[in-house]
A and B are shown apart, each in its own frame.
Chain A
Amino acid sequence: MEYIIELDKVTKRFGGITALNKASLKVTKGEVVGLIGDNGAGKSTLIKTLVGVYSPDEGNILIRGKKVNAWNALKARESGIETVFQDRALTPQQSIVKNIFMGKELRYPFGFIKEKEQIFEANRLIREIGFTSKLINAESPVGNLSGGERQGVAIARAIYNKAELIVLDEPTNNLSLNETQKVFDFVLNVKKSNRSVLFIGHNIYHVYDISDRFVILDRGEVVHQINKNDISTPEELMKIMRDTIRTH
């Protein structure tokens, strides 16, 4: 079986605190993995290490079976991993189009930017993700958008780059029911096209609904993994999570 990405016994420390302790995680093509755990379990550190924002102190990262060195955010994106960060990773004074193409601009030779093509693509994307207001177009500044719309821009970025793995860090935080449903639709679409999603959430019901597999994290360690087929309700998942953490 081919894994898109593999974390192999990854450890990350901040000063004296071990935020990740020999954590291992694999993501296969076409699956939705739900990462759950209490506050401070290390979910964010795991994600940020996985997508290259942090570099691991120990352990290996493998992309499609090959070990990579000097892992960073640019390499992660070039390997087909896109992330919708918890804080959305936007620059609010810049336009929607600049944000969608941030770090991966469409370029002519010598680094000049294909501005018209970017604007055309950005307008297509924001219609695709359901921006209906005529007051908003690709050149509107992100700072004027609502929380849900900002999330939409972050998602549009991941859609455009046709990532093989999309990491969603707390994507339903502060969203309305309607907006949450849009995020779910997006995840299902990604799965349908045989790509993968890593979904991190506080809300166990949200995670339960869309994931194929659950990874439970506690105090920086991956303590349990379970397939959705093996359980039948979110309450059961919650109970398993509580029991594993208590005995860990």
Chain B
Amino acid sequence: MSNNNSYLSNYFHRNGRALGSIGYFVLLMVIFLIGAPEAWIRPNLHQSVFVMMPTLIFLTIPLVFLVASGEIDLSFASTYAVAAYVFALLVKNGVDPAICFVLGVFTGAAIGALVGTLIVVFRLSSLVASLGVLFLLRGVILLLTNSRSITIMEVENHWIYPLLVGNFYGFPMQIFWAAIFVIFCYYFFNKHVFGIHIQHVGDNSVSAEQMGINVNAVKIKAFMFVGIGSAIGGIFTTMITYTFFPTQGFGYLLLALAAVFVGGTPYWGGLGTIIGAVFGVGIIAYMEIGIIAIGWSGEWRQFFNGLIILLALLGHRLHGERVR
């Protein structure tokens, strides 16, 4: 009996936050279903959510790693645009889009490494420093492009287009890539040395250092991972719309952060949940689209986004305070 108890309490300790965010997602679905059943059974509503979700997943899941390591990054919303810019510019100049994709992702990783190194080596506040980088990179993009967008219709005829963002029996391909990304990240976070070291570092970096973990290297890698995720998200979006916009990504800044915390990853580091974050993304995406679908005006969207963040935080509070 008592063995059962310890099993249950350990299970809850490990999965409580993910279960909480699944609970909020189900609750939200039920509310929408009762509020607007006719809008809810129309498939085009869910289709628009499916288009939005993959991009948010590529942004949100790597942020779970970074927040669990005890840091935060706001610059990802600009990295998203820089990587897409590199991609679009190279495509426009006749480079093979597959190579452009790789170089775009590489750009994201490089920016992440630079931001991470800056923060770790000079011991800067990641919140403030990455806010600086957010504006700086956006400024660079606006200056380089003269605020003009780039259209890249040519990607459509390349094999990479149907493979990455094409249509598969009515489902957008990016859904499958996002799903693969989530599965990969789940194992990477929970069963791989990288994820485990991130949790130790975010929990108590002094202890991690004393046990021989290279704390700085772990943090820089986490920043790089955020850069890679943002680059993938940015390039996917650019391919879907055939257009690079100099302002793209800004709209995702607060949504992706909200999805991390609504998903049950606490801000203080050491803990994180990939599954929770997926449902966090689901909640945010359905809020964005569902409010309109049930016939309310767009003005309500931000109000409900705010409400759900607060309610989710209060709910996750039940999982207790930080133990020391």
Q: Of A53, A93, A136, A137, which one neighbours B209 at CB under 8 angstroms? A: A53
Alpha-carbon distance A165/B166, docked complex (angstroms): 60
Cβ-defined contact, B187 with A102, below 8 A: no
Residue A134 CB within 8 A of the other chain:
yes
Closest residue on chain B to residue A110 by CB atoms: B192
Which one of B10, B199, B270, B322 contacts A137 once the chains associate, using CB atoms below 8 Å?
B10
- Establish whether residues B2 and A102, one from each chain, have CB atoms under 8 Å apart when the complex forms: no
Does A65 reach chain B (CB closer than 8 Å)?
Answer: no
Q: Are A112 and B211 touching (Cβ within 8 A)?
A: no
Instruction: Flag if A73 contacts B187 (CB, 8 Å).
Output: no
Q: With A and B bound together, what is the CA distance between A47 and B200 in angstroms?
A: 22
Please tell me if the beta carbons of B10 and A139 are within 8 angstroms of each other in the complex. Answer: yes
Residues of B close to A91: CB separation below 8 A:
199-200, 203-204, 207-208, 270
Q: Does A72 contact B (CB under 8 A)?
A: yes
> B2, B191, B212: which has the most chain A beta carbons within 10 Å?
B212
Give the number of chain B interface residues (Cβ < 8 Å): 34
Chain A residues within 8 Å of B323, by CB: 92-93, 141, 143-144
A160 to chain B, nearest CB (A): 13
Nearest-neighbor residue (CB-CB) of A142 within chain B? B323
Q: A53-B209, A91-B207 are known contacts. Are A112 and B191 too (CB-CB below 8 A)?
A: yes
Contacts of B191 in A (CB 8 A): 112-113, 115
Q: How far is the CA of A37 from the CA of B163 in the complex (A)?
A: 69
Question: Do A112 and B187 touch across chains, with their CB atoms under 8 A apart?
Answer: yes
Whether the Cβ atoms of A98 and B199 lie closer than 8 Å is yes
- On whether the beta carbons of B211 and A89 are closer than 8 Å, the reply is yes
Chain B residues closer than 8 Å to A75, beta-carbon distance: 212
- Nearest-Cβ distance from residue B67 to partner chain A, whole angstroms: 13
CB distance from A63 to the nearest CB of B (A): 15
Judge whether A83 and B193 touch: CB under 8 Å: no
Among residues of A, the one whose C-beta sits closest to the C-beta of B4 is A134
Assess whether B196 is interfacial by the CB under 8 Å rule.
yes
Interface residues in A133-163 by Cβ distance below 8 A to B read 134-137, 139-141, 143-144
- Whether B203 contacts A107 by the Cβ 8 Å rule is no
- B283-299 contacts to A, CB under 8 A, are none
B148 at the interface (CB under 8 A from A): no
A111 close to B (CB within 8 Å): yes
Choose among B9, B13, B14, B193 the residue that contacts A105 (Cβ–Cβ < 8 A). Answer: B193
Q: Check A89–B199 contact: CB distance below 8 A.
A: no
B6 located at the interface, meaning its Cβ lies under 8 Å from any Cβ of chain A in the complex: yes
Quick one: given A113-B193, A135-B2, are A89 and B210 in contact (CB under 8 Å)?
yes
Docked complex: A71-118 residues within 8 A CB-CB of B: 72-77, 83, 85, 87-95, 98, 102-105, 107, 111-113, 115
B2 contacts which chain A residues (CB < 8 A)?
134-135
Q: Are B211 and A73 in contact (CB under 8 A)?
A: yes
B123 at the interface (CB under 8 A from A): no
Nearest CB of chain A from residue B187's CB, rounded to whole Å: 7
B213 within 8 A of A: yes
The answer on a CB contact under 8 Å between A87 and B6 is: no
Contact among B203, B212, B270, B322 for A103, CB-based, below 8 A: B212
Residues from chain B with Cβ under 8 Å of A83 in the complex? 210
Additional pairs, 18, CB under 8 Å, beyond known A90-B207, A91-B200: A73-B211, A87-B206, A89-B211, A90-B204, A91-B199, A93-B203, A102-B207, A103-B197, A103-B200, A103-B211, A104-B212, A105-B196, A111-B194, A113-B191, A134-B2, A134-B3, A137-B10, A144-B323
5 contacts between A and B (CB under 8 A): A89-B210, A95-B14, A111-B194, A134-B3, A134-B6
Which residues in B have some Cβ–Cβ distance to A below 8 Å? Answer: 2-3, 5-7, 9-10, 13-14, 187, 191-194, 196-197, 199-200, 203-204, 206-214, 270-271, 322-324
Q: Closest 5 CB pairs between A and B?
A: A143-B323, A74-B212, A91-B203, A103-B211, A73-B212
Interface residues of A (CB under 8 A from B): 51-53, 72-77, 83, 85, 87-95, 98, 102-105, 107, 111-113, 115, 134-137, 139-141, 143-144
